[in-house]
Structure 1
Amino acid sequence: MFTGLVSDVGTILSVSGEGDLRRIAIRCAYDPAGIALGASIACSGPCLTAVSIAPDEGGAVFEVDAAAETLARTNVGAWAPGRRINLERSLKIGDELGGHLVTGHVDGLAEIVARDAVTDGAWGPSERFTLRAPPALAKFIAEKGSVCLDGTSLTVNTVDGDLFSVLLIPHTLQVTTWGERRKGDAVNLEVDLIARYAARLSEARV
């Protein structure tokens, strides 16, 4: 489990393999001594397993495997060396739950259809992103509810059909990859866990 609060931004060093399995090497600032082999790390949304860890100057390099389901549902298949990704270590009992409960099981891709500056304060601009959700997932997104986009826990501001918007403050734009996102980009979408189960229970009563 995760919270959607990004704790580091990693860089893709290499991608190897073809077809339904890719091995991806990621450089991060995490202490390698604190990453156990087999640890779960949220990598811009999807929960991936560390299959190797090695010390690196200022941090570590860890490798993960992305299989068919991950490649089909997420943007991982488009990752290439040099790309920066949001990272979060798994939640520990007793940790502060500052975002919302995130599983790291991405439901699909949302497309950024607009990015607009809202305010320009002393710490930089806040930005409103408008995104289009896949039709099958749009019903799970509610105004003032939570959504996880590229591994970031965000509050939904508005909903209009399959379009929804989120507001990112200067701090979030600076410490995540959101400052790099542009119109047309596809981001990993995980709908709120509670909304998913509530909808399923409602369907079961019909």
Structure 2
Amino acid sequence: MFTGLIEHLGTVSHIEVDAAGATLIISNSAAILDDCHIGDSIAVNGCCLTVTEFDKAENGGCFKVWLANETLERSDLGERTVGDQLNLERAMGTHARFGGHFVQGHVDTTAAIVERTPDGDSLRLKFRLPEPTPSRPSLMRYLISKGFVAIDGASLTLTEVSDSDRTFGVMLIQHTQEKITLGKKKLGVKVNIEVDMVSKYLEKSVTAVLEGDGESSLRAMVEKVVEEVLVKKGLVD
């Protein structure tokens, strides 16, 4: 589990892709390796990955992770090149303040940057989700204005949402622009998107009630509440 508060920017120093997946080595990462162990989870551009090797001294501190084909298909990591910077966050500790939102590190899809608009010292960015398919339905229903979304692993507040053209926007203050990679990305570039997991669980629970045996009990509860209101207002006996 992560908070979406990026701790450090690492640098891709090696990528090796084969039929089974890819190996990624991220350097200049000593700042987050002081308490690292083999098997630890680190969110890399929002993808929860397992540390398979690490060296606190080599190349400014580096660690190696393995990317399965599912990760390559869902995220932008397969498009990264040597020298690219990546957002890094260690798994959430029980001793720390919880300043972001619940981020699993399970990327849902990618979105493309379609607008970049300066706003004083801040930067407004707009993104477009891909066309939905039967196997990957639209994620727009999980996005609401002033809600949360994780973009490349960074917890951000949604400033606008348009269901009609599958777009949504965020605003980066100057501090955030300096601490994450998003503000440096150009138009058309893909970013990793993870929607709020709480909304997904809520949707599944409500759908199960409406489609299952719970429908009659839910209807009865609503009818009872309506009846009590009408009686209290003297509209029925």
- The residue number in structure 1 matching 2:149 is 147
Q: 1:101 to 1:143 in 2, by over 3 A?
A: same
Considering fraction of residues, name the structure with more helix.
Answer: 2
- The residue number in structure 1 matching 2:140 is 138
Per-residue CA deviation, residues 130-181 of structure 1 (Å, 9 max, x unaligned), is 1112441111111110000001000001111111110000001011112211
Aligned positions of 1:66-77 closer than 5 A:
66-77=67-78
- Tell me the CA shift for residue 31 of structure 1: 5.4
Aligned equivalents of 1:46 and 1:175: distance in 2?
18
Q: Is the 8 A contact 2:142 2:196 kept in 1?
A: yes
Q: Is the 8 A contact 1:157 1:165 kept in 2?
A: yes
Aligned positions of 1:1-206 closer than 5 A:
1-27=1-27, 28-30=29-31, 32-56=33-57, 59-119=60-120, 125-134=121-130, 135=132, 136-161=138-163, 162-204=166-208, 205-206=210-211
Q: Is the 8 A contact 2:7 2:32 kept in 1?
A: no
Aligned equivalents of 2:167 and 2:32: distance in 1?
39
Aligned equivalents of 2:59 and 2:83: distance in 1?
17
Q: Is the 8 A contact 1:8 1:29 kept in 2?
A: no
Off by >2 Å, runs of 4+ in structure 1: 29-33, 55-59
Deviating more after overlay: 82-91 vs 16-25: 16-25
Aligned equivalents of 2:57 and 2:82: distance in 1?
17
5+ residue gaps, structure 2:
133-137, 212-237
- Tell me the CA shift for residue 21 of structure 1: 1.3
Deviating more after overlay: 28-37 vs 130-139: 28-37
Aligned equivalents of 1:71 and 1:115: distance in 2?
26
- Tell me the CA shift for residue 59 of structure 1: 4.2
- Tell me the CA shift for residue 203 of structure 1: 2.2
Q: Is the 8 A contact 1:20 1:71 kept in 2?
A: no
5+ residue gaps, structure 1:
120-124
- Tell me the CA shift for residue 33 of structure 1: 4.0
- Secondary structure of the 1:34 match is coil
- Tell me the CA shift for residue 90 of structure 1: 0.4
- Secondary structure of the 2:25 match is strand
Aligned equivalents of 1:157 and 1:142: distance in 2?
9
**Matched-pair identity in %:** 37
Per-residue CA deviation, residues 47-74 of structure 1 (Å, 9 max, x unaligned), is 0000001123684110000001101100
Would you say how many aligned residue pairs link Structure 1 and Structure 2?
201
Aligned equivalents of 1:104 and 1:199: distance in 2?
20
Code of the residue aligned with 1:133 in structure 2: it is L
Q: 1:176 to 1:31 in 2, by over 3 A?
A: closer
Tell which has more relative contact order, 1 or 2 (C-alpha 8 A, sep 6+).
Answer: 1
- Secondary structure of the 1:172 match is helix
Considering fraction of residues, name the structure with more strand.
Answer: 1
Code of the residue aligned with 2:15 in structure 1: it is V
TM-score by length of 1: 0.93
Larger Rg: 1 or 2?
Answer: 2
Aligned equivalents of 2:100 and 2:20: distance in 1?
32
Aligned equivalents of 2:58 and 2:110: distance in 1?
34
TM-score by length of 2: 0.81
